[in-house]
Amino acid sequence: MTGWFRRIVLAPAVIALTVTILTTIPLWLLAATVLSPLVPGRLRPLRLLSLLLMHLVLESLMLVELFGLWIVSGFGLFIRRPFFERIHYDLVQAYLVVFFREARRVVRLKIVTEGAAPDAYPGEPLLVCCRHAGPADSFTLMYALMHWYGREPRVVLKDTLAWDPAIDVILNRLPNRFSSPKRGKSGDDSL
């Protein structure tokens, strides 16, 4: 039941929020400019606003594309076919490439890897375990595996991340799992 709520209520709300913020951008820029001298770091509120806007725009575009794919796939009838799975992986990779390009530019993000390279085993399944501090680290790992090494990751992630509508829809359409310490069953089918 919560899956439908996230898709029918939250997804349009994210798109509406994006449109609202973009139409009131002068006010947000003014507020971020006023806050900049009060916050440590060079123009931190402006840089964070830039990343937030980039995320909201990308998320909204992805939600519209995912809805279109659902319709084109026969209202979800063929959504799990390899053709559509490939399109979903391409959407995730495009989002990550654009977002990380912006993150490198805006906050000077630099990703450094250590240890055996995942491309050491081409064409073979690879189990990657990582310790991370939050969702941004998970996105970084996904970006590296998809963009640098051409992998199609299958992930297990906490069910609270499914409250993000794009993550909910796209990761439920791909072979991923949401886990919860409270329930034995995880995730629900995509729209």
| Residue 186 near residue 1, CB atoms below 8 Å | no
Query: Distance between CA 124 and CA 137 in Å, rounded?
Result: 24
* Dist. CA 16–CA 4, nearest whole Å: 18
pLDDT, greater one: 81 or 134 = 81
pLDDT category, 148, cuts 50, 70, 90?
Answer: confident
- What does each C-alpha distance from 158 to 2, 128, 134, 135, 168 come to in angstroms? 15, 17, 11, 10, 11
What is the tens place of the pLDDT at every residue in 6-45?
Answer: 899 999 999 999 999 999 999 999 999 999 899 888 888 9
pLDDT mean over 162-182: 90
- Provide the token pair at 153: 């990751």
Per-residue pLDDT tens over the stretch 51-99:
999 999 999 999 999 999 999 999 999 999 999 999 999 999 999 999 9
83: which 2 tokens?
């053709």
